[in-house]
Amino acid sequence: MVDGADTNEDVWKSEDMVAQWVASSADRERGRSHHRRLLADLLPFADDEPFTFVDLGAGTGAATQAVLDRFPRAQAILAEYSPQMTAEGRRALAGYRGRFTYVEFDLAAGQWPAEVPSDVPAVISSLCVHHLSDQRKKDLFAEIWHHLAPGGWYFNYDPVTTDDPVVEAAWRRAGDRQDPEAAAKRQHRSPEEQRRYENHVRYMIPLGPQLDYLRAAGFEAIDVYWKQLDHVIYGGRRPAQAAS
């Protein structure tokens, strides 16, 4: 945890911050592309099946793009609260024109836009839920459950923390070996990079409580479908039938 006030809006509604983030996104996305493909592969649809999914905290649409590439008849509703990120996303997704719609939605506020149907077959989120407080994570998962059709799936790709310092040291050791520049980057952050880092980790929590939040919301088939060090894909589905 990082002390101090929530800075989500300061970071993600700042023209300068978003411009810096977008400028450095190509390198990040190269390392995440296979994770996003797995997120798409987990969705339970036939290759040519038409369906609509919701991408929460969609940002510039990287996760949406993976799903649209995987399922050529899919349609996306991208929920995002930053006008700057939405503008960048519309540019990034220009080649998918007619297959996506952006709607304004602040995940921290909980007021779902009317444009999001109440019975979608799939909801995804990618690298955004960790920006929410614990209570808001719990509430959001319950809201997702209510917006899914029976049998609908939710998957989240996100970083997590650990309460075990030995595990944390192992994660960092492996990460530094995989990225020899990582240690130097940590030690020489610019003021803007430090602000983004503090925003990144402020509400990040271990994996276990988040799985508990899914259970409390009523999800079944809950699993950690992929994990590498501090990044995971977890999720579950709304039961196809009400419990008897």
SS (H, E, C) 194-225: HHHHHHHHCCCCEHHHHHHHHHHHCCEEEEEE
Identify whether 219 is part of a domain.
yes
Q: Specify the length of the chain in residues.
A: 244
Identify whether 31 is part of a domain.
yes
Identify whether 1 is part of a domain.
no
Identify whether 243 is part of a domain.
no
Indicate the pLDDT class of residue 7, thresholds 50, 70 and 90: low
Indicate the pLDDT class of residue 23, thresholds 50, 70 and 90: low
Q: Which is nearest to 119 in space by CA: 146, 149, 145? A: 149
Q: Which domain holds residue 56?
A: 8-237
Identify whether 139 is part of a domain.
yes
Average pLDDT over residues 18-25: 64
**Whole-model pTM?**
0.88
Identify whether 71 is part of a domain.
yes
For the cut 70, the answer to whether the pLDDT of residue 67 exceeds it is yes
Give the model confidence (pLDDT) of 168-190 as tens digits.
999 999 999 998 888 888 888 88
Looking up residue 123, the CATH number of its domain turns out to be 3.40.50.150
For the cut 50, the answer to whether the pLDDT of residue 244 exceeds it is no
Q: Which of 5-9, 216-220, 227-231 has the lowest mean pLDDT?
A: 5-9
Identify whether 172 is part of a domain.
yes
Residues 6+ apart with CB under 8 A from 167: none
CB atoms within 10 A of CB 56: 25
Report the chain's mean pLDDT, rounded to a whole number. Answer: 89
CB half-sphere exposure, 111, CA atoms < 13 A: 4
Identify whether 2 is part of a domain.
no
- How many domains does one find in the chain? 1
Task: Check residues 207 and 241 and name the one with the higher pLDDT.
Answer: 207
